Amino acid sequence: MVRRFIKGFKKRLAYLASKGAYHFLVKDWSGVNDLETLQYFFSTEFYWFQMRPMQPNLKKFKRVLVLAPHQDDETMGAGGLLLKLHNLGSTIKVIYTTDGRQANIGVPLEDSLEVRNNEAIAALKYINADFEQLDISNFKADIQSRHIQELSDKINDFKPDLVLTPWVLDIPDFHRVVNHMLVLVNRIKPLEFFEIWSYQVHSHLYPNIAIDISKQIDTKIEMIKCFKSQLESFKPYDHIIKGMNAYNSKFIEKSSYVELFFGLPAKDYVALVQRLYKNAGPNIYRHKKGLSELMQTVEKEVS
Give the model confidence (pLDDT) of 1-10 as tens digits.
545 544 554 5
Contact 178, 165 (CB under 8 A): yes
**pLDDT at position 30:** 53
Give the model confidence (pLDDT) of 11-33 as tens digits.
554 555 555 566 654 445 455 54
Q: Report CA-CA distances (Å) from 201 to 50, 172, 187, 240.
A: 25, 10, 27, 10
Q: What is the mean pLDDT of residues 264-269?
A: 92
Higher local confidence (pLDDT), 182 or 103: 182
**201, 211, 191: which is closest to 166 by C-alpha?**
201
E strands present in 167-246: 195-199, 209-212
Q: Which CATH superfamily is domain 2-302 in?
A: LmbE-like (3.40.50.10320)
Give the model confidence (pLDDT) of 177-216 as tens digits.
999 999 999 999 999 899 999 999 998 888 889 999 999 9
**246, 303, 253: which is closest to 274 by C-alpha?**
303
Give the model confidence (pLDDT) of 38-74 as tens digits.
555 555 455 555 557 788 899 999 999 999 999 999 9
Contact 53, 204 (CB under 8 A): no
* Whether the predicted pLDDT of 166 surpasses 90: yes
Q: What is the mean pLDDT of residues 91-95?
A: 98
Contact 198, 261 (CB under 8 A): yes
Can you tell me whether residue 96 is helix, strand or coil? Answer: strand
Domain ranges of the chain: 2-302
Can you tell me whether residue 197 is helix, strand or coil? Answer: strand
CA distance 235 to 111: 21
Q: What is the mean pLDDT of residues 125-137?
A: 95
